[in-house]
Amino acid sequence: MSLLTISSLTLRMAGRTLLDRADLAIDAGRRIGLVGRNGAGKSTLLRAISGELAPDGGDVRFSARARMAQVRQTAPSGAQSLLDTVLEGDPERLALLRELDVAEPARLAEIHERLRTIGADAAPARAASILAGLGFDAAAQARPVDSFSGGWRMRVALATALFAAPDLLLLDEPTNHLDLEATLWLETWLARFPGAAIVVSHDRGLLDRAVDSIVHLDGQKLSLTPGGYTEFVRIRTEQAMQLGRAAERVAAQRAHMQKFVDRFRASATKARQAQARIKALERLPVIDTVIEAAPTRFSFPEPQKLAPPILALERVSAGYDGVPVLQNLSLTVDMDDRIALLGANGNGKSTFAKLVAGRLEAIAGEVRRSRKLRVGYFAQHQEAELMPDGTPVAHMERALPDAPDTKLRAQLARFGLDADRADTPSKNLSGGERARLLLALATREAPHLLILDEPTNHLDIDARDALVRALGEYEGAVLLITHDPDLVELVADRLWLVGEGTVRPYEGDMDDYRALLAERARPARTEAPTRRDDRRDRAETRQQQAPLRRQAKAAEVLIAKLAAERAAIEARLADPALYAPGRAAEVTAASTRLAALAREASAAELAWLQAEEALEQAS
């Protein structure tokens, strides 16, 4: 019997149908990634599963003896400690402990047996371990909940849900309040979780590494695909191609028959055959091809070139009220740099971003900026600064008061805000649409340096992919702060580690960083010197190989970029319209670039082979 059964479920919200007679069954222990476009109804479905929302039709059946847990939408509060707050996530344990004080002697043995069965003695250690994984050290765990900000308290809500160890765990964008380190920990935790889980997330890495199936909410229906997100995309693409080919065959057959009918319908001698063709036309199957919505596209305005470095820090200290948070910063940024900041929240990543953006003055040292340097700064907290009744056009006009309306709307259109959305008050925009507005505002003056602080929190997977593509084409420098390890690997070619009061280049890659975090999380224990030495030797080897791995990765990215450009040019050259009179120069330029691309691709492939061979020899 399934743990959760959804039968003919219909859900409506504000007069719009989100699900129409949808079906789904989830077995015990199955970890599901729930995906769909923004506004498709993913969060609403979770509310219906949890019982918060009554369905408009059909039903949701949950196994009678099973337990369900989800992250509360409101952050916890109160004077009790974080540890005690999380321990309340297991109400059975609390009830049994309270009953111990008043139970009759005959009942005591039964209570103790049940406490042993549910592992009550180990509960504080388990709760502490979860809190530590989410970024709370022992001292923080003893502090009152009210002493933390809202974002940190939402982590406590997540810890409480994880601690409950339910049969079914519901998580709606669980990484939005996490840093990269806590996200990596959560991936590992979910991959080992023995219960069932339904996870709504835009994080492709988490959906590949922590779930075993994908449920797609699309067209008011639910469809389940085994495997992670990459496998889901592969299968869906293959299905679309097959349906497309079938539709083409039927369309060709239909057109052939229709041509005969149109030609001979009025002919007395051919009337019978024409009628037969009409009946055959009616019997032809209707193929519903997989029609995707228009692909999401972002594009950044191109900045003018500046001589390197565009920014240089020399022994800089930065902080607040004269108290340094970061010290001895000596770093440079060029226009072709793609830098991701690593380090736990609270180590100073946002402080560094404000310093680079010019929103925070240095306490000591020298900051040198190119005279013409323009910086674009995106931070999710800026959403609170939007005027609720102001439309995107009004916000853009406020930022660019001298720009014509056409320019304002063109900048919004770069991020998918069409005419209707551009004239919608921001309070009526979705979270993803407000994030697009903030991106449009941050890049309105074609910045040479773009600082992105958690840019994907409210973007769906398609919009996130559009952001990655746009950053790949952007000609300026990027400084990235994100909880998404997959985004770091796709965008960044340099990693800087923020910790211990400074910022320094990190020579490893994300695999090295994962290994470093795992090593830090491993409990201290006494080891034989030989094992400790072996581990240190392996770490040193990975450190030495890091430059080669970066070279190989950079070559891979370049090969993919060149292949995409080549495909686009070949498509142009295959278009007969290109050969119209007066366009000879375009044909020559495209052909010349195509030849150059072949040479560049060969060089990139050679660089990749050399890096891979060097890595193999060094292993």
Contact 519, 542 (CB under 8 A): no
Write out residues in the chain with pLDDT < 70, as ranges.
1, 243-244, 246-247, 250, 253-254, 256-257, 260-261, 263-295, 521-546, 618-619
Q: Give the pairing of strands 68-70 and 57-62.
A: unpaired
State the alpha helices, DSSP H only, in 134-219: 138-141, 150-163, 180-192, 204-209
Instruction: Say what the pLDDT of residue 291 is.
Output: 40
| 311-524 shares the fold of 4-232 | yes
Instruction: Say what the pLDDT of residue 294 is.
Output: 56
CA separation for the pair 88, 92 (Å, rounded): 9
What pLDDT digit, counting tens, does each position of 365-393 carry? 999 999 999 999 998 778 888 999 999 99
What pLDDT digit, counting tens, does each position of 131-170 carry? 999 999 899 999 999 998 888 899 999 999 999 889 999 9
The domain made up of 4-232 has a fold known as: Rossmann fold (3.40.50)
Instruction: Say what the pLDDT of residue 280 is.
Output: 65
What pLDDT digit, counting tens, does each position of 188-220 carry? 999 999 999 999 998 888 999 999 999 999 889
157, amino acid identity: A
SS3 label, residue 464? helix
**Yes or no: domain 311-524 corresponds to CATH 3.40.50.300:** yes
Q: Where are the domains of the chain?
A: 4-232, 233-283, 311-524, 548-618
User: What is the chain's alpha carbon radius of gyration, rounded to the nearest angstrom?
Assistant: 29
Instruction: Say what the pLDDT of residue 290 is.
Output: 43
Count of C-beta atoms within a 10 Å radius of residue 433: 22
Structure tokens at 73: 């939408």
Closest CA to 65 of 1, 159, 158, 160: 1
Phi, psi for residue 137 in degrees, rounded to 5? -80, 180
Instruction: Say what the pLDDT of residue 525 is.
Output: 37
